[in-house]
Amino acid sequence: MMRFKLSASLQPLPTMNRAKQVTAALAQFVAASELKTGDRLPAERELMSALSVGRSTIREAIRHFQALGVIETRKGSGTYLLRPISPDTVHMPLSLDTTKLRDVLLQTLQVRRGIECEAGMVAAQMRTSDDLAIIEDKLVKMETVHLEQGSSGPEDLAFHLAVYDATHNPLFRQILEQMRESFEHFWASPFDRKDFARRSFPFHRTLFDAIAAQNPERARRETLKILAVVEEDIKEMSK
């Protein structure tokens, strides 16, 4: 088991801007400790003690890095590094005015449309047999949950993240996951509905088929079909 000398590179922080400072401190710690992809980060309680901050501040910093796609938390196991970070790593937080939620969602969708279509096309070109197996596994789980419960939020996200990973370009996952994270917690009535975008369900299978066939143009068309349903539902639910 890896032992950390936290006192060597993590010190108590001043009282201002704690979440931002924790983010910077963690990036510095990862770089100073020369952690590699797959290494486990210190536990929350260790970070709380070393940095003299509360659990909510630690979790806010962790969520920030999760949104960037550089770390992941595995239930019952810990938090792991997906790719190395340092104080020089470029982070791109999004600023959204959520006072007009409908407009924000539609604006976000405009940006997602371009990026997700490109991600689908690149995945169709770059995917390996292992990538395809992972995408199909996520799709089958999504279909199972959808047919049993009528909705499949987490499973839907897992499917799309697998598509982004199949591009072998980490920016697709980082940017798109960050966009989702930036407005996800603003979902409220009437948007928080189990039937949201349900009509897009069949197009996930056809998107997979396009990626399997290594047909970029078809992958683009199927992605557009999914996002068209999302746009229609946003407009309908926000009337």
Q: What is the pLDDT of residues 165-187, one digit of tens each?
A: 999 998 888 788 777 655 554 44
CB atoms within 10 A of CB 234: 19
**Of 179, 228, 232, 184, nearest in space to 203 by CA:** 228
The string of pLDDT tens digits covering residues 133-161 is: 999 999 999 999 888 887 767 888 889 99
What would the two tokens of residue 219 be?
């992958």
| Mean per-residue pLDDT, 207-222 | 98
Each residue's pLDDT tens digit, 185-195: 444 444 555 66
Which ranges constitute the DSSP H helices of the chain? 6-9, 18-32, 44-51, 55-67, 101-126, 129-149, 153-165, 170-184, 201-212, 216-237
Domains of the chain: 6-81 (1.10.10.10), 98-237 (1.20.120.530)
Q: How confident is the model at residue 17 (pLDDT cuts 50, 70, 90)?
A: low
pLDDT for 207: 98
